[in-house]
Structure 1
């Protein structure tokens, strides 16, 4: 029996880059067992070899696959080490553009990738977690999953939906000893917004030029690769959050925190949204109360 046979088993989607890769590496470095996934493992043979040389596994998983295909992949993942203790729904991409300009096919693909796929994976791992009465589901959202901004409408919608499902699921599975966390990353130095990974919708005439949509698209392109967030530091916090270890993990577990905010930029945007919600709720209180029979 290997020396780490009793260590937790992770299933991490989107492991070939960004936060997924950083978390995969960090969990392995801590002696945990990791099943990494990506859409096309043959495209990253060095990463596959790196993970497997440390006792991990790598599977092909595309979040747009059918419900039955995802269930089969999860069954295969569970067969490697006998269970899945931590699910990290990290795989995602973003479609950027004005709501009016968004092609229907891109809206559907965005929701299938960022929302429906993660939900199906959750559904596939929950029976095993319920049976063992333990487990952790960590859904990677975004600042945009709490604060939607211009040019990010459908991406934000996909993350808002994932957050809503996470909140509901958290309440439903707590009795089974299963925890659910939402990760709220800000801007991190990954390739997430690169044109090769993201989908930029060319603004129509009304949204071109000096319009805020076009200016946002220009801004995102301009700052690719210059974000201040460190994926490696984010991975450490995510690991602590999942395990309840370290300063971050102890705080999150003790205070029953649902949303783990990563990055001062994310904290600032979320804090501003909360303040605005508080202001609006206070102002509209009497109007709300006036509608009863």
Structure 2
């Protein structure tokens, strides 16, 4: 048996593509999703390699029990992929507390719980990989997606610290930051829209229209994204962050350049805030 994967949100999009790529590599995948019916064809085609698991990652107790059950039955979990997610469009003022909390449960607390649950098993073997599927919105944000990006920022911060903590234990962390891919992310019924306020018609209105309107025309190929993820996991020196797609590479590169330029332009002020005796020793 090859590696054992536990992939959340596996019924479609990146989760489905990662499952198919892992199966093609000869691995075994426990494909978790709230609705497992879309996985029936994969289970039928690869009964020895794919198991469908009904799982709501926001059920913290259930998620922990599922990890332990998989680890016991298969003897190990080599790769955990926290992929389950959904989109939300709304200005910060438009987004309700309930919408923010629900999305944070899905994008942050659920993956955090699954990560905590799998770590004892990986530590016991001295090996493993945790893949956190965030977004290019984990490094930058723009009008209309503040709530969504906030959850991705949170997971990236947790994962960056996690990577430092578990590297000496033989465990890898890979943060995947996709741009726009043909995953039905913004398709009918998938994208949540906060109730609009007229004040944000010009700033958020285009996002409400353009994001769903681009479904099916996104430049990114999920199968190629999955291949890139497997290649990164197999690399001798894997990156911590793996942006995917030209749009992600361009946007993240531009954001890093802008941030660097802003720091340099304010560097004198920034460095002038220490106590004088500390600054003198610098």
For the superposition of Structure 1 and Structure 2, which TM-score range results when normalised by the shorter chain? over 0.9
* Aligned-partner Cα distance in 1 for 2:249–2:53: 34
Is the 2:174–2:241 contact (alpha carbons within 8 Å) kept by the matching residues of 1?
Answer: yes
Matched, 1:284 2:260: no
Q: 1:132 aligns with which of 92, 100, 125?
A: 125
Q: For residue 35 of structure 2, what is the aligned residue in structure 1?
A: 40
* CA-atom RMSD in angstroms: 1.3
User: SS at the partner of 2:204?
Assistant: helix
Matched, 1:242 2:233: yes
* Aligned-partner Cα distance in 1 for 2:127–2:179: 29
Is the 1:96–1:199 contact (alpha carbons within 8 Å) kept by the matching residues of 2?
Answer: yes
> Could you give the per-residue CA deviations for residues 191-223 of structure 1, whole angstroms, max 9, x where no partner exists?
111231120123212112xx1200111111211
> Could you give the per-residue CA deviations for residues 81-118 of structure 1, whole angstroms, max 9, x where no partner exists?
11000111111111111110111111100000011100
Give the deviation of 1:70 after TM superposition.
Answer: 1.4
* Aligned-partner Cα distance in 2 for 1:131–1:195: 43
Q: Check 1:176–1:56 CA distance in 2 against 1; reply closer, same or farther (3 A cut).
A: same
Is the 1:14–1:91 contact (alpha carbons within 8 Å) kept by the matching residues of 2?
Answer: yes
Give the deviation of 1:50 after TM superposition.
Answer: 3.6
Give the deviation of 1:48 after TM superposition.
Answer: 5.4
* Aligned-partner Cα distance in 2 for 1:50–1:273: 45
Is the 1:28–1:54 contact (alpha carbons within 8 Å) kept by the matching residues of 2?
Answer: no
Q: Structure 2: state its 5+ residue gaps.
A: 276-282
* Aligned-partner Cα distance in 2 for 1:267–1:207: 28
Matched, 1:219 2:210: yes
Is the 2:232–2:239 contact (alpha carbons within 8 Å) kept by the matching residues of 1?
Answer: no
Matched, 1:145 2:143: no
Q: Matches of residues 266-277 of structure 1 in structure 2 within 5 Å?
A: 266-277=248-259
User: SS at the partner of 1:268?
Assistant: helix
Q: 1:61 aligns with which of 55, 61, 64?
A: 55
* Aligned-partner Cα distance in 1 for 2:45–2:107: 25
* Aligned-partner Cα distance in 1 for 2:44–2:217: 27
Which consecutive aligned stretches of 4+ in structure 1 deviate over 6 angstroms post-superposition?
Answer: none
* Aligned-partner Cα distance in 2 for 1:125–1:185: 24
Q: For residue 86 of structure 1, what is the aligned residue in structure 2?
A: 79
Q: 1:28 aligns with which of 20, 23, 32?
A: 23
Q: For residue 8 of structure 2, what is the aligned residue in structure 1?
A: 13
User: SS at the partner of 1:49?
Assistant: helix
Q: For residue 250 of structure 1, what is the aligned residue in structure 2?
A: none
> Could you give the per-residue CA deviations for residues 150-196 of structure 1, whole angstroms, max 9, x where no partner exists?
11001000000000000000000111000101001000011111231
* Aligned-partner Cα distance in 1 for 2:269–2:149: 29
Is the 2:122–2:128 contact (alpha carbons within 8 Å) kept by the matching residues of 1?
Answer: yes
User: SS at the partner of 1:139?
Assistant: strand
TM-score with structure 2 setting the length: 0.94
* Aligned-partner Cα distance in 1 for 2:4–2:39: 22
Q: For residue 280 of structure 2, what is the aligned residue in structure 1?
A: none
